Amino acid sequence: MRKITFDIETKNFFHEVGSNDPTALDISVVCIHDSLDNQYKSFLEKDFPSLWPIMEKADALITWNGDHFDIPLLNKYYSGDLSKIRSIDLMREARNVIGRRLKLDTVAEATLGKKKIGGGSDAVDWWNKGEIDKLIKYCIEDVKITKEIYDFALANGGFKYKDLGAGGAVHDIKINTSQWEIKPEHTMTFTLPF
């Protein structure tokens, strides 16, 4: 099964575009892990024609908050509909169990024992300063964390989070991962030439 774990960084903030709609933002970089070759890759907007065939061949897209943010925003640039590809949104999985959204950092710290190397505001600042290497390094690190959380959940039937509202107590989130590795039938309509 070909899995694409990915994350997006933006060129701007919601307050700059006057909307809370993710599609009002502009993408600075998309970083992925492709299970086919076990490689991490980055794509600036000019590179998107090389990204589309990879996404179209995915059996599953793995994200943190991708259903709400990354997939709709990336669809703004794509002539097809990436939401037709099976999505495993790890934040959605957690919210379905505990009833609230979690930050990737609180899950990474509790599950993997590490923290993110920056935040979304850093990413916008790096873009504005032309520090593209820092931006890509940060985005790829978020993809690595997301992939490691996915792998942990698959092996352990869930992951952990640090509850900052409860003094930093660590809690388990049990998730049914039994369907995650079953290859779905493709419903994607391929719209781009190869």
Three-state secondary structure of the chain: CCEEEEEEEECCCHHHHCCCCHHHCCEEEEEEEECCCCEEEEECHHHHHHHHHHHHCCCEEEECCHHHHHHHHHHCCCCCCHHHCCEEEHHHHHHHHHCCCCCHHHHHHHHHCCCCCCCHHHHHHHHHHCCHHHHHHHHHHHHHHHHHHHHHHHHHCEEEEEEHHHCCEEEEEECCCCCCCCCCCCCCCCCCCC
Domain covering 3-88+99-174, topology: Nucleotidyltransferase; domain 5 (3.30.420)
- Domain extents for the chain? 3-88+99-174
Q: Which pLDDT band, with edges at 50, 70 and 90, does 17 fall under?
A: confident
More confident residue, 135 or 184: 135
- Asked whether residue 134 carries a pLDDT value surpassing 60, the answer given is yes
Q: What mean pLDDT comes out for the span 38-55?
A: 97
